[in-house]
Amino acid sequence: MSFFEIAYFYPIIFLMPLYRDFSDDKATILLWKYDEKEELNSQFLVEAENYEKIKDYHPTKLKELLLVRKILKSVLPDHKILYRDREPFLFPQDFEISVTHSFPYAALAISKSKIGIDIEPFNPKIKRIQHKFLNEDEAHFIEKEKEVAYLTVIWSLKESLYKIHHSNYWSLKKHYEVKPFHLDFPFNIQCRVHDEKVSDLFKARVEFFENYCFTIVD
Whether the pTM exceeds 0.85: the reply is yes
Residue 128 has pLDDT above 50, yes or no: yes
Q: Could you give the C-alpha distances from 92 to 88, 89, 98, in angstroms and in order?
A: 12, 9, 15
The per-residue pLDDT for 6 is 53
Distance CA 24, CA 43 (A): 32
- CA distances (Å), origin 60, targets 11, 67, 109: 30, 11, 21
**31 vs 71: CA distance, rounded Å:** 8
Is residue 47's pLDDT more than 60?
Answer: yes
Q: What is the pLDDT of residue 8?
A: 39
Q: 71 or 1: whose pLDDT is higher? A: 71
Identify the CA nearest to 127 among candidates 150, 148, 145.
Answer: 148
119 neighbors 100 (Cβ within 8 angstroms): yes
| C-alpha closest to that of 79 among 143, 88, 120 | 88
190 phi and psi angles, rounded to 5 deg: -85, 130
Q: Is 15 helix (H, G, I), strand (E, B) or coil?
A: coil
What is the pLDDT averaged over residues 120-143? 98
Phi/psi of residue 214, nearest 5 degrees = -130, 120
- The HSE-up count of residue 95 (CA atoms within 13 Å, CB side) is 25
- Taking only the tens place, the pLDDT of each residue in 93-125 is 999 999 999 999 999 999 999 999 999 999 999
The 10s digit of each residue's pLDDT in 148-203 is 999 999 999 999 999 998 877 789 999 999 999 999 999 999 999 999 888 999 99
Instruction: Look at residue 2 and tell me whether its pLDDT is greater than 80.
Output: no
DSSP letter, residue 112? S
Instruction: Please state which of the ranges 30-34, 47-51, 68-72, 208-212 shows the lowest mean pLDDT.
Output: 47-51
**All domains in the chain, ordered by first residue:** 3-113 (3.90.470), 119-217 (3.90.470)
At 58 the pLDDT is 94
pLDDT the model gives residue 16: 55
For residue 76, pLDDT beyond 90: yes
The Cβ of residue 85 has, within 10 Å, a number of other Cβ atoms equal to 6
4 pLDDT exceeds 80?
no
